[in-house]
């Protein structure tokens, strides 16, 4: 969903964006590293399976096959554990390698590629996204995290919209930031519905991925009044 023009350097390099940077000292020994890694892996599995709230610390240590006390060697509490999980997954969740947009490129194609990449990444990390939604409702620090993460996308897309407006290929009547928030939100809502709610449901039709991409792209392009519609 990132339609930024390439030169734009966004502020995304701001540190991890993961809450609670006050993580404990990293393990020094090899064994320590192994245990820590096992805990993070186990935590992700259990969080995704049972949800953040229903996960007891002992569930994690049990899954990681280590003692309850070992948890505190590496994490101060459940929150920090989750922060570590997210930190590790962030790479893939953040922005899926977005195709560069060369000057003369077709904006519609760029947009579509961007949406596809976003939706693919969402699908790939659906369980984690569901988890993040849950936690954002429950732990203020993660709410902030989620908001910041979303805002980065939105700002980025806003810049893209502004560019297109400047080039005369987008409706100039809308505020780029607000339009970006609306349209980016539209895509994320669709992703949430398709990949988070869509799973557990008996709904029958599990949403066709390509149709999802094309509909979302078409609506977005229309909304901004891209010229020369098919």
197 binds, among DNA, a copy of itself, none (CB under 5 to 8 A by kind): a copy of itself
To a copy of itself, the closest distance from the beta carbon of 2 in angstroms equals 18
Structure tokens at 112: 């579509």
Position 22 contacts DNA (CB under 7 A): no
User: What φ, ψ does residue 124 adopt, rounded to 5°?
Assistant: -60, -35
Position 57 contacts a copy of itself (CB under 8 A): no
The upper half-sphere exposure of residue 205, i.e. CA atoms within 13 Å in the direction of its Cβ, equals 5
Quote the strand ranges of 31-139, DSSP E: none
Q: How large is the greatest C-alpha to C-alpha distance in the chain, in angstroms?
A: 64
89 binds, among a copy of itself, DNA, none (CB under 5 to 8 A by kind): none
Residues 152, 146: contact at Cβ < 8 Å? no
Q: How far is CA 215 from CA 95, 104, 116, 129, 162, in A?
A: 21, 24, 11, 22, 22
Position 148 contacts DNA (CB under 7 A): no
By CB under 8 A, the residues from 148 to 207 that bind a copy of itself are 171, 173-175, 178-179, 181-183, 185-186, 188-190, 193, 197
178 binds, among DNA, a copy of itself, none (CB under 5 to 8 A by kind): a copy of itself
Residues 212, 190: contact at Cβ < 8 Å? yes
User: Footprint of DNA on this chain (CB under 7 A)?
Assistant: 25, 27-29, 31-32, 34-35, 55-58, 66-74, 76-78
Report the interface residues with a copy of itself, using CB under 8 A. Answer: 51, 53, 133-134, 137-138, 147, 171, 173-175, 178-179, 181-183, 185-186, 188-190, 193, 197, 211-212, 215-216, 218-220, 222-225, 229-230
């Amino acid at each position: 969903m990132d339609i930024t023009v390439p030169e734009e350097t966004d502020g995304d390099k701001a540190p991890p964006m993961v809450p609670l940077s006050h993580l404990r000292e990293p393990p020094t020994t090899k064994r320590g590293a192994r245990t820590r890694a096992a805990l993070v892996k186990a935590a992700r599995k259990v969080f995704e399976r049972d949800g953040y709230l229903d996960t007891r610390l002992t569930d994690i240590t049990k899954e990681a096959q280590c003692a309850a006390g070992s948890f505190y060697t590496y994490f101060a509490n459940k929150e920090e554990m989750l922060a570590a999980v997210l930190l590790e997954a962030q790479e893939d969740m953040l922005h899926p390698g977005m195709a560069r947009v060369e000057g003369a490129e077709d904006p519609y194609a760029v947009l579509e590629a961007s949406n596809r990449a976003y939706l693919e990444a969402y699908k790939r990390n659906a369980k984690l996204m569901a988890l993040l939604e849950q936690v954002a409702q429950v732990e203020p620090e993660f709410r902030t995290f989620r908001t910041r993460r979303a805002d980065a996308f939105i700002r980025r897309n806003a810049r893209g919209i502004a560019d297109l407006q400047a080039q005369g290929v987008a409706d100039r009547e809308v505020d780029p930031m607000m339009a970006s928030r609306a349209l980016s939100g539209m895509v994320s809502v669709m992703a949430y519905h398709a990949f988070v709610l869509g799973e557990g449901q008996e709904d029958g039709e599990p949403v066709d991925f390509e149709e999802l991409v094309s509909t979302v792209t078409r609506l977005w392009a229309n909304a901004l009044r891209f010229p020369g519609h098919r």
